[in-house]
Amino acid sequence: MFIDTHTHLYLENFDKDREDIIARCKEKGVHKLFLPNIDNTTLSSVKKLANNNPEICFAMNGLHPCYVKENVEEVLEVLKEDFSNYEYAAVGEIGIDFYWDTTYTEEQICAFKKQINWSSELKLPFVIHSRSSLDLTIRIVGDAVCIPNQCIFHCFDGTVEHANKIIDMGMKMGIGGPITYKKSKLVDVIRSIDLKHIVLETDSPYLTPSPHRGERNESSYLPLVAKRIADIKEVSIEEVAEVTSENAKKVLSNIDL
């Protein structure tokens, strides 16, 4: 069994064929899908998809760093409130993104810290989005007091050194489509770390693996990521499926998979 720990299947990119994708996932052995939230406008779609597919889709709740704006406090309040109404799998996706915009640097950092605290308070794991900010993100996570559970550095794109810091904190790294790209710098990282630190993800509709690059991504492509990792590690794809699914179950442990 494969677990896609990160897909935005609730977005309108999938409105026309969402059920077909879920059917294709089943055919390919991708049996569990975790849905990271983006902001207050997407939360109802996340929950609707999870409610319609209670055995397959699991909702997360958090504010994506690219959507932190001047109204951040209000949005956080709305999101926080909803943890008392719904059983979420994790706090996510949260973090820091300096790639697109640094206008709200202070607000991003503050929202990230606040949401890590929610995770402690609610005893939920958290899922991190970090782009052009990995050193800072690792520092903030390292400094965060009383992390109850674990977290996933989703779409990890750092160095071996970054990976080792994350491993030392007992956290996992989400690996997706980019590992299948020619000249991916991640190959050296995957080669040097143990499979037990990795979970699989698509981040669909983004980051489509080869040979579908340029098309919309979907969770049924997850075995392509697993196959590439299997080739790099010189193990079977079954082993990658088994170990990464066990890892996902450990991190996202409040959901009985």
**Smallest distance from Zn ion to CB 190, Å:** 19
Secondary structure of 194-251 as H, E, C letters: CHHHEEECCCECCCCCCCCCCCCCCHHHHHHHHHHHHHHHCCCHHHHHHHHHHHHHHH
The residue within the footprint of Zn ion, chosen from 18, 47, 80, 129 (CB under 5 A), is: 129
Q: Tell me the backbone φ, ψ of residue 217, rounded to 5 degrees.
A: -85, 155
Cβ(166)–Cβ(130) under 8 Å? no
User: Applying CB under 5 A, which part among 33-41, 113-121, 138-146, 169-177 lies near Zn ion?
Assistant: 33-41
Q: How far is the CB of 7 from Zn ion (least distance, A)?
A: 8
Shortest distance, position 131 Cβ to Zn ion, whole Å: 8
Amino acid type, 5: T
Q: Which is nearer to Zn ion, 122 or 152 (CB)?
A: 152
Provide the residue type at 143 as one letter: D
Shortest CB 204 distance to Zn ion, Å: 9
Residue among 4 and 203 whose Cβ is closer to Zn ion: 203
What is the identity of the amino acid at 151? C
Name the residue number minimizing CB distance to Zn ion.
Answer: 129
| 100-137 as b/e: b if 16+ CB within 10 A | eeeebeebbbebbeebbebbbebebbbbbbbbebbebb
137 vs 180, which CB is nearer to Zn ion? 137
Cis omega before residue 223 (within 30°)? no
Judged by CB under 5 A, the stretch of 13-21, 47-55, 114-122, 203-211 that binds Zn ion is: 203-211
Residue 155 three-state SS:
coil
From the CB of 229, what's the least distance to Zn ion, in Å?
A: 19
Nearest-approach distance from CB 97 to Zn ion, in angstroms: 8
- Which DSSP state fits 159? -
User: Between residues 92 and 223, which has the closer beta carbon with respect to Zn ion?
Assistant: 92
d(CA 36, CA 219): 14
The footprint of Zn ion on this chain (CB under 5 A) covers a number of residues equal to: 3
Interaction with Zn ion in 161-200: which residues (CB under 5 A)?
none
Quick one: 2 or 156, whose CB is closer to Zn ion? 156
Residues 36-65 that bind Zn ion (CB under 5 A): 36
Positions that interact with Zn ion (CB under 5 A)? 36, 129, 203
